[in-house]
Amino acid sequence: MKEKELNAYSQIYRHNKTSKVKYWFYGILGFILLFLFLPWTQNIRARGSVTTLKMEQRPQEMNTIIPGKVVKWYVKEGDYVQAGDTIIQLSEIKDEYLDPNLINRTQEQLSAKQMTIDYYKNKVDVTQTQIGALSSGRELKLNQLENKLAQLRLKVQSDSMEAIAANNDFNIATQQYNRQKAMYDSGLVSLTQLEQRNQSYQNALAKKISAENKLANSRQDLTITKIEMNSVQQEYLEKIAKAQGDQFQSMSQIASGQGDIAKLENQYSNYSIRNGMYYITAPQSGQVVKAKKAGIGEVVKDGEMIVEIVPDKIQYAVELFIRPLDLPLVAPGQKVQFLFDGFPAIVFSGWPNASYGTFRGKVVAVESSVSSNGKFRILVAEDADYKPWPKQLRVGTGAQGMALLKDVPVWYELWRNINGFPPDYYKPATTTNKNETKK
């Protein structure tokens, strides 16, 4: 009876029982030692957001190139459009473009200016023909004068011979007259014979003077013909120079007209292109968001945003911002583990394969310039060898990344963190292989 009453005492104090604390202690100690030698994947944590791998896949602002007034909206916010679909219609507000027949009138001006150039080209051709005719006339006239000069030279030569012959006759007649007069003075001949010699002397003198006058006239005609040739050449040169001046003036008008035509063609092209800018179309397929204008009749300025289009076909990527201290530890091709906002996950940072709900990517770019927040930006794309990223992702969704580094024991990682050492410098094998291939 007393033993039954003292049962509580034996149950509480258990002084006669063997203790198992040391077994638990050794077991826990062994587990801890085993745990310290388990592999641990070093990592770098960074915050970022979802973006796109290609720039043309990011949200795009649609801006107006020309100012105008809103005439009609063809879409509303939230609509999905295809590339080339009309978004909005504008009308002109500048007075120099209000004429509805502006393009036709510009085309008429262009045609008129082209006709003017054609007329000047015809004038240049006619002037060239006139210059050719003047050159031919000058050559013909000069040939005539050269023939006349040749004739006059022959005539001068002939008159010179006649003058020499007349001079010889005059010298002979003079000698005969002097001898006849001496004989007359001596009484050897009669007065009649002296008068006959005097008559012959006068005739020879007259022939001599006539021959000399004829030679002088021939020489004068030769000189006059030479002067006439120079005058004709000068006259034709003046006419040809005047015709060439008219030709060059016409060519100047043609060049000026061609410049005006180029200007009018430029205006015509600008007007035609401007007419096509009244309808703003979607550059690519996507969803219309963030409309900055509403209603009909509102005026928009050139370069002002109308709407924003979010492309529907996107190759997602994540931009992360890492500390400058961790920049040497990140390289293209490195694996990165992700937790996306809104997607539940169970994370074991040191054992990425044991985590649940995480996604993996590869570093594709590391910027060499620091961002405005004092950190460096890296771009991470989806890893095709791992499970695909969720389709529900949107641009701007928050993401927390863990860049996976070297595998080390747990005790080393604890020792590193206690001493405040950075993770081990590590480059993935893919990067090393690429560098060796390049070399």
Instruction: For the chain of 439 residues, list the mean pLDDT of each consecutive stretch of 10.
Output: 53 60 80 77 79 85 89 90 90 85 88 90 89 88 86 84 85 83 79 80 84 85 87 88 88 89 89 87 89 83 88 87 81 83 69 68 87 88 85 84 72 73 59 42
Instruction: Give the per-residue pLDDT at 1.
Output: 44
Tokens 């040191």, residue located: 350
Instruction: Give the per-residue pLDDT at 356.
Output: 63
Tell me: the pLDDT tens digits for 126-179?
A: 988 888 888 888 888 888 888 888 888 888 888 888 888 888 888 888 888 888
Q: Catalogue all structural domains in the chain, each as residue range(s) with its CATH number.
A: 40-53+315-438 (2.40.30.170), 60-91+280-310 (2.40.50.100), 102-275 (1.10.287.1490)
Instruction: Give the per-residue pLDDT at 426.
Output: 55
Please provide the DSSP assignment of 102-158 as one string: HHHHHHHHHHHHHHHHHHHHHHHHHHHHHHHHHHHHHHHHHHHHHHHHHHHHHHHHH
Smallest CA-to-CA distance from 46 within 423, 405, 399 is with: 399
Q: What does the DSSP 8-state code read for residue 91?
A: E
Q: What does the DSSP 8-state code read for residue 187?
A: T
Pseudo-torsion of CA 406, 408, 411, 415, nearest 10°? -30
In this structure, are residues 307 and 62 in contact, taking their beta carbons and an 8 Å threshold? yes
Share of the chain above pLDDT 90, in %: 4
Tell me: the pLDDT tens digits for 377-430?
A: 989 998 888 888 888 888 888 888 877 666 677 777 677 777 766 666 555 555
Instruction: Give the per-residue pLDDT at 148.
Output: 83
Looking at this protein, which amino acid is placed at residue 217? N
Model confidence, pTM: 0.55
3-state secondary structure of 39: strand
Token pair for 239: 């006419």
**Interior CA angle at 274 toward 270 and 277, to 5°?**
150
Instruction: Give the per-residue pLDDT at 46.
Output: 84
Instruction: Give the per-residue pLDDT at 407.
Output: 67
Residue 360, strand partner residues: 337
Please provide the DSSP assignment of 289-353 as one string: E-----SSS-EE-TT-EEEEEEESS--EEEEEEE-GGGGGG--TT-EEEEEETTS--B--TT-GG
Instruction: Give the per-residue pLDDT at 325.
Output: 77
What stretches of 194-315 adopt beta strand conformation (E)? 279-281, 286-289, 299-300, 305-311
In this structure, are residues 173 and 203 in contact, taking their beta carbons and an 8 Å threshold? yes
Instruction: Give the per-residue pLDDT at 222.
Output: 84
